[in-house]
Amino acid sequence: MLFTWEGAAIAAAIMSFPLMVKTAAAAMESIEREYIETARTSGASEWQIFRHVYIPLSYKGILAGAVLAFARGLGEFGATLMVAGNIPGRTQTLPLALYNAVQSGDNNAALLYTVILTITGFAILWGVQQYQQYLATARAEK
């Protein structure tokens, strides 16, 4: 796994995972206990409670956690450098390429990498917003 793109992906995922977990856990902890107790009283298993109570009532927090984790992973620098190195064309990530471009004085490449990272971030946020609007519209039509 060392010095491979898979290692870089795993390193970025491990570094961003706490953001996902903390955000999703906070969303799940905010669910009123009455909903969970009602499901238990109705005979639902823990898996059913998780699937039919926790997930639907905390999907916004889970989605926010996933977006935060993705953004953190997108900008990951240190862990990917330590695990995968900085091999151009093989394990070099955009943040590492941006760093190299700045260090070597290649401002055009640095600007390109910055634009790519910025557009990617905005595209993900726009996609999440569109998805949330779609869900709100679908629920309003029911």
Q: Whose CA is closest to 61, among 35, 34, 13, 25?
A: 25
User: For the segment 30-85, what is each residue's pLDDT rounded down to a tens digit?
Assistant: 999 999 999 999 999 999 999 999 999 999 999 999 999 999 999 999 999 999 99
Query: What range defines the domain where residue 116 resides?
Result: 5-141
CATH number at residue 93: 1.10.3720.10
1-38: string of b/e by CB count within 10 Å (b at 16+)? eeeeeebbbbbbbebbeebbeebbeebbeeeeeeebee
What would the pLDDT profile of 10-22 be if each residue is shown by its tens digit?
A: 999 999 999 999 9
Q: How many domains does the chain have?
A: 1
